[in-house]
Structure 1
Amino acid sequence: MSNHQVTVTARMKVKQGLEDRFKQELQTVIATTRSENGCINYDLHQSVDNPSLFMLHENWISKDILEQHLEMPYIKALSEKAAEFLVEPPEVLLWQQVVHNG
């Protein structure tokens, strides 16, 4: 799988009242990540029904490139701040597309 495109979903439950600060914290990380080599998209979503629930939806050209991203200093710094914002550890899943359009 290391040479195939990989999709990541990360579901995060933010402490009530910290939603806006969380979004601000991620703005710089999102902009920097989107400029990384091999990043196809890196998008933050907020639940319509529960404003404390967020999801990152990412696509990378390969799992190897994703692993390089996870070693970036700003990603490690964000991970260290997770307990400040999150109710529980994020639920991170890796996906591989099995049916293609076209």
Structure 2
Amino acid sequence: MEIFRQYLKSKTSISDEQFSILSSELKIRQVSKGEVLLIANTRMKFKDEFVDTVKTMILNDLIDSTRKEEGCIKYNVHQSEDDSNVFTFHETWKNKDGFNFHMRQPYVTDFLELVKDKLVNPLLLVKGHVL
């Protein structure tokens, strides 16, 4: 994948972030035929006074650790342009077992425990499969 990144950088003006998104999309296409992917989207809205703290926690702990998990194909977190208190987690997992393993990791359970009283309303988690 590194050779591919270097090639793209030499031929285009692709940023590292754009390459990360592209490589995530390529990983999805490399999954074995017939394997069921699990897609999870989570929306969290935080109280004003906690947004910076939560954002730091997401950037410092959650993203890198999650992307290293074997079952993780794609893990992106977005902060809303319309409401900076809203974060949306877009996740693609090889299967349900990969997602369940992720949810048991200390950096996930610790994060969820730390943010539960910082939310404006309960988090919204939607899970599904690619049609």
> What TM-score does the superposition give when structure 1 sets the normalisation length?
0.87
CA distance in structure 2 between the partners assigned to 1:70 and 1:83 by the alignment: 15
- Tell me the C-alpha RMSD between the 2 structures: 1.2
Aligned match of 2:47: 15
Aligned match of 1:39: 72
SS class of match (2:98): helix
Q: Compute the displacement of 1:73 (Å).
A: 1.2
Q: Deviations over 1:32-91 (max 9, x none)?
A: 000000101111101111111110000000011100111111111111112242112210
After the TM superposition, which parts of structure 1 deviate over 3 Å for at least 4 consecutive aligned residues?
Answer: none
CA contact (8 A) 2:54 2:115 kept: no
Q: List gaps (5 residues or longer) in structure 1.
A: none
Please identify the structure whose Cα radius of gyration is greater.
2
SS class of match (2:43): strand
Aligned match of 1:6: 38
The structure carrying a bigger strand percent of its residues is 1
Size of the aligned set, in residue pairs, is 96
The structure carrying a bigger helix percent of its residues is 2
SS class of match (1:85): coil
Aligned match of 2:21: none
SS class of match (1:19): helix
Higher relative contact order (CA 8 A, sep 6+): 1
